[in-house]
Amino acid sequence: MRIGSLFILLFSGLLAFGQHKQVCFSFDDLPVVSYGITDTVFQEKLVNNLVKSLNNNKIQAIGFVNESNLYDNEGVNQFQVKLLKIWVNSGLDLGNHTFSHPDYNTVSFKDYSEDILKGETISRKILNDRGKSIKYFRHPFLHVGNSKVKADSLSDFLLKKGYHVAPVLQKCLFMIIIL
Ligand SMILES: [Zn+2]
């Protein structure tokens, strides 16, 4: 069971230039968190309204993707891919949130790092098609490793892969409900 899917995580620093710091919103567990509602019309409307609202308010945002959500029994679900494209086509960014949302406290570095690599394939292509690259990573459950060895191994791995870990400064308890 996933937790904390739709809460909005604020972070700053990534977009800090000189004296100015900007706050960037981020959303986890993309392509969409619809609490079990599988109706595609509803899902698309939810994503469109969210994106429109962010753009109207000139809010930069990164959506962290679990690519396992892009698959169904028949393979890649193009509708779910389209939801990510709506996000990127509107100028927002995507980040890697692993493929299957594992808890690093309970899996090995090997399994976790493989899950990270598996989790970037479709997002990378969508971003590349828009002239962007995948740069951001967020740990599921914000677990960075429950031993120094594991934490260091992962941190080195992410650095080598060119990922910036999106720091979380504050968990907001509000949700944007746009229906
Ligand atoms: Zn998550």
- Residue entry with tokens 């740069």: 135
Please tell me the distance between residue 168's alpha carbon and the centre of ligand 1 in angstroms.
13
Predicted TM-score (pTM) above 0.85: no
Taking only the tens place, the pLDDT of each residue in 118-161 is: 999 999 999 999 999 999 999 999 999 999 999 999 999 999 99
The CA-atom distances, in angstroms, between 56 and each of 7, 59, 64 are 20, 8, 21
Question: Shortest CA distance to 90 belongs to which of 42, 53, 125, 122?
Answer: 53
- Cα distance between residue 52 and residue 58, in whole Å: 10
Please tell me the distance between residue 55's alpha carbon and the centre of ligand 1 in angstroms.
23
Please tell me the distance between residue 70's alpha carbon and the centre of ligand 1 in angstroms.
15
Please tell me the distance between residue 97's alpha carbon and the centre of ligand 1 in angstroms.
7
How open is the CA angle 101-107-110, to the nearest 5 degrees?
A: 100
For 24-35, letters b (16+ CB in 10 Å) and e give bbbbbbbbbbee
Please tell me the distance between residue 18's alpha carbon and the centre of ligand 1 in angstroms.
31
Contact of 66 with 97, CB cutoff 8 Å: yes
Contact of 167 with 13, CB cutoff 8 Å: yes
Q: For residue 48, what are the contacts with CB-CB under 8 A and spacing of at least 6?
A: 86
Q: Tell me which residues have their CB within 5 A of the ion that is ligand 1.
A: 28-29, 140
Please tell me the distance between residue 177's alpha carbon and the centre of ligand 1 in angstroms.
19
Q: Which domains, ranges and CATH numbers included, belong to the chain?
A: 23-165 (3.20.20.370)
Please tell me the distance between residue 148's alpha carbon and the centre of ligand 1 in angstroms.
22
- Cα distance between residue 74 and residue 88, in whole Å: 25
Q: Each residue's pLDDT tens digit in the chain (179 positions)?
A: 343 334 344 443 334 444 555 667 889 998 877 667 778 899 999 999 999 999 999 898 999 999 999 999 999 999 999 999 999 999 999 999 999 999 999 999 999 999 999 999 999 999 999 999 999 999 999 999 999 999 999 999 999 999 999 877 544 433 333 33
Q: Are strands 71-72 and 75-76 parallel, antiparallel or unpaired?
A: antiparallel
Please tell me the distance between residue 138's alpha carbon and the centre of ligand 1 in angstroms.
8
Question: Shortest CA distance to 81 belongs to which of 93, 96, 67?
Answer: 67
Please tell me the distance between residue 19's alpha carbon and the centre of ligand 1 in angstroms.
31
